[in-house]
Amino acid sequence: MFNFDEARFLAIQAGAVTLASSIDQAVGGLLVDGADSVFFLGTGGAGILMQPALQLLSHRSAFAAYSGLPAEIVITGHPRLGRKSIAVIPSISGTTKESVAALEFCKRRGARIIALIGHADTPLASGADFALVNFAEDDTSCESFYLQSLLIALSIMKHRGECHSYPLVVSELQRLPALLVAVKRAFEAQAERFAESIKAEPYHILTGAGSTWPEAFYYGMCILEEMQWIRTRPVHAADFFHGTLELLDKDVSLIVFKGEDALRPLVDRVEAFALNHTRKLAVFDSANFDLPGIGTETRALISPVLLASVMERVSAHLEIKRSHPLTTRRYYKRVPY
């Protein structure tokens, strides 16, 4: 595969799923200690990647689950955030300014902190009650964070008697890293063709629903906007027909992410409409990817993981075709803000 380090990818994603035992031990202890709520408090893209786990708890558990913008919550607070709360704070660097401030705020409120980080010797690691370290970089962090936060949600449900399939799901996730490499390899030619087809597009609408909506949001904001300086409009499929549809015409690019959970029909509706109104429709459907040995329940949980993996292949080709490296920035970590 083009510009792809298979050994590095496998090590990072295997590292993520190997954290299952540590996550389960930490979560179990916190619940025994009386934890009654969880807050997913990631900054920027890392926060978006926590959303499928939040959705899982919101839809299938009675455990109180919340998300928030760290920069906002340190100003407004939250009435449920306190000594019985778990705060999950992800950051590859472990130094993200807003996330460090959120950690300090949560600790003052008595919350217990689980930090998901890429480096041990960092402010988030030293300040957390549980620092779960798995090295990752921008091109591998999506899958890693999706998996780690999913494992947190599943563990909460397991300890509450709400996920009897926990052992099976976790065992299937252990197989996933190698399967993702096979998915990437099978998708490589399609990724190159799609990158070629969109290399000159100035604007994209991206949509999804359920667990694929965060990936649509993430790919638009963090990849196309931040890393390629392309204007985008991520919109949830349920909101597409309440404004954004009026921007669609035959020459507007629409990128659709379809998953395998209960909210797939919302995306089907957008796709059906778009087929008649744009010639630049691209649909990426997690159901099209072969995952031997992975059951229906697990597949429904990992749709964003699959989509993140194949879109990384698109990004790898896009940066070359546009002569714009994914690492090029105007402002991010370059100027004060």
Q: What percent of the chain has pLDDT over 90?
A: 99
Q: Please, are residues 114 and 130 in contact by the beta-carbon 8 Å criterion?
A: yes
DSSP states of 175-223 as a string?
HHHHHHHHHHHHHHHHHHHHHHHHTT-SEEEEEE-GGGHHHHHHIIIII
DSSP states of 300-311 as a string?
HHSHHHHHHHHH
Residue 240, pLDDT score:
98
Average pLDDT for 182-199: 98
Residue 82, pLDDT score:
98
Average pLDDT for 192-213: 98
Same domain, 133 and 221: no
Give 56's contacts (C-beta < 8 A, 6+ positions apart): 150, 153, 154, 157, 211, 301
Q: For residues 50 and 64, what is the distance between their CA atoms, to the nearest angstrom?
A: 15
Q: Is residue 298 part of a domain?
A: yes
Same domain, 143 and 192: no
Q: Is residue 244 part of a domain?
A: yes
Q: Is residue 330 part of a domain?
A: no
Q: What percent of the chain has pLDDT over 70?
A: 100
Q: Is residue 230 part of a domain?
A: yes
Q: Is residue 49 part of a domain?
A: yes
Same domain, 158 and 25: yes
Residue 250, pLDDT score:
97
Number of domains observed in the structure of the chain: 2
Strand 281-285, strand 253-258: pairing: parallel
Q: Is residue 337 part of a domain?
A: no
Residue 166, pLDDT score:
98
Same domain, 69 and 183: no
Kindly report, residue by residue over 276-307, the tens digit of the pLDDT.
999 999 999 999 999 999 999 999 999 999 99
User: What are the backbone angles phi and psi of residue 133, rounded to the nearest 5°?
Assistant: -105, 125
Same domain, 182 and 257: yes
The residue whose two tokens read 């298979």 is 6
Same domain, 255 and 208: yes
Average pLDDT for 119-142: 96
Range of the domain at 280: 174-321
Residue 131, pLDDT score:
98
Reported confidence tier of residue 81, pLDDT bands at 50, 70, 90: very high
Q: Is residue 1 part of a domain?
A: no
Kindly report, residue by residue over 7-31, the tens digit of the pLDDT.
999 999 999 999 999 999 999 999 9
| Token pair in block for residue 33 | 């200690």
Same domain, 22 and 76: yes
**Which of the listed residues 111, 142, 164 is the one where a domain comes to its end?**
164
Q: Model-level pTM?
A: 0.97
Same domain, 191 and 216: yes
Average pLDDT for 111-123: 97
The residue whose two tokens read 């990849």 is 223
CATH number at residue 112: 3.40.50.10490
Reported confidence tier of residue 160, pLDDT bands at 50, 70, 90: very high
Task: Share the mean pLDDT of the chain.
Answer: 98
Q: Is residue 250 part of a domain?
A: yes
Residue 7, pLDDT score:
97
Give 152's contacts (C-beta < 8 A, 6+ positions apart): 23, 27, 38, 53, 88, 114
**Which of the listed residues 120, 144, 164 is the one where a domain comes to its end?**
164
Reported confidence tier of residue 51, pLDDT bands at 50, 70, 90: very high
Average pLDDT for 249-267: 98
Same domain, 155 and 110: yes
Residue 43, pLDDT score:
98
DSSP states of 250-297 as a string?
TT-EEEEEE-SSTTHHHHHHHHHHHTTT-S-EEEEEGGGS--TT--HH
Same domain, 212 and 295: yes
Reported confidence tier of residue 90, pLDDT bands at 50, 70, 90: very high
